[in-house]
Structure formats: C-alpha cells, structure tokens
Amino acid sequence: MSLADQQYLDIVRSILEHGYYDQNRTGVAAYKLPHQIMQFDLEQEFPILTTKFVAFKTAVQEMLWIWQQQSNDVTWLNERNIHIWDSWVDENNTIGKAYGYQIRKYRQLDKLLETLKTDPQCRRMIVSLWNVEDLPEMQLQPCAFLTMWDVTDSRLNCMLVQRSGDIPLGVPFNMTQYAVLVHLIAQVAGLRVGLFTHVINNAHIYENQVEGMKLQLSKADQAYDAPKLWINPEIKDFYAFTIDDIKLINYRHCGRIKMEVSV
C-alpha cells in the first residue's frame, strides 16, 4: 500500500469513527475532525490514491489554471472538458477574485521563484490566496489557500494549509496537484524535491458520501504501490509546462467511486 493511501485512509477512519456531526453552509450535514495532517517525502514516493481512481490530468490542469495561467476564468478549463468549477461561476464564467486571480494580482509566483533562486534561506516564502479585501468578490473563498516554502540542503519543502477539506472529493485532488507543483517549482529552481506537508483545518465527509468512503476502505487490502511521476527534464521555465510534460508511470488503482459534491 502506498503511503498516500495509508495516511489518507487513516484520516477517513478517524472521521467516520470519531467525527463531530453537524450542519454547515451547504445544507448537507457532515462528519468532521480538525487539524488533520499528511506528510510525504517526495523523493521517496509520489502521493496519489490507488484505492480509488484519481483523475490525475484533471487535477494537474486545475493546478496549472491557478498557478501557471493565474486565471479566474473557467473558460480555459471548459475548453479542456473540465467542469469542476461550473457550479460556482458568475455571469461572466469566472469565479470572481479567487485563486489564480490572487497569484497574478501580486505576482506571487514570480516573486517566489526569484527568491528561491537568489535567497533560498529566506523564511518569508509564502503564497497566500486569502486576501481579506477581495473575499466578498470571490464566488468560493479558497479552500487550499496558503503555501509556505523552505529550502533545506538543496531540497524544496512545501507546507499546504487548507481551511476546509472535502475528504472524498477535494483532498485527493489537492494532495496530488500540490505534490506536482512542488516538483515543477523544484525543477525550474534547480532544487531537489523534499517534504510535502498537507494540513487540513476542517477535514470532513458529507453524510451522503459515507457509503462511498466505506467502499473505499474495503479496498485497502487491494491497494497498489505508488506510481512514478515523470516531468519533462528539458523544461526550465514554469510557464512553459504543458500537460504533456507531466505524466504518471504505472498508475494502478481500484476503480472509480462515485460520490456527491456539496455546493
């Protein structure tokens, strides 16, 4: 079993066995636990679940939309047959001043890349999508909203802080796409990959997802080893990566598990 499956399923079990049950803004009650953490050494393993299928290309393209395209316009995703944001768009097919808009507004990625190359021991390498001034103009306030970056012994470490984590649907995407992001940034900064730590403040399972989670838990003894991540070694400019430059090698999984999303 991969470390991703092991750590993820441990959180699932804890929520189902000990989670606090209550209502929330969506109108669909959920079981939740605070302060759940996963950590991976990216030199040792790439974190993606094998106990269910995770749409790797979709997850990576969503990440590129936010971090590379730095866009709030869902049209770019729709053109690639990705519709995960369609429930939140406004009349202009945007998500307001959220996610990629905040990276572009303050040139946060460019500043991060410059600091990694010129002052790698800086302790202020932070990218925040939580702009209090713009929160009222966001269709959905960012869930995975903060990354903190560190370089130790030429290895790039990243901590992702997520205020709210839909464990069945959102978190499998987030853990995988941010691990890819670390690999991409490390490559263009001339660093090795290091630790990826994923902190979830409110980790929850909606009540209409419980049976799907129990099904996934039943597949634990069928889990596979982690696949390998391949990134085109010729690309040294973050803005030059395409989805064809990022691939999984030997990704085996236990199949799809359909679960509801609560808007």
Residue numbers annotated as active site? 143
Per-residue CA distances from 227 to 198, 253, 262 (Å):
19, 10, 30
| Encoded tokens for 48 | 């993606």
Phi, psi of 229 (to 5 degrees): -100, 130
C-alpha span between 158 and 116 (Å, rounded): 12
C-alpha span between 100 and 142 (Å, rounded): 10
Contact 168, 209 (CB under 8 A): yes
Residue type, 11: I
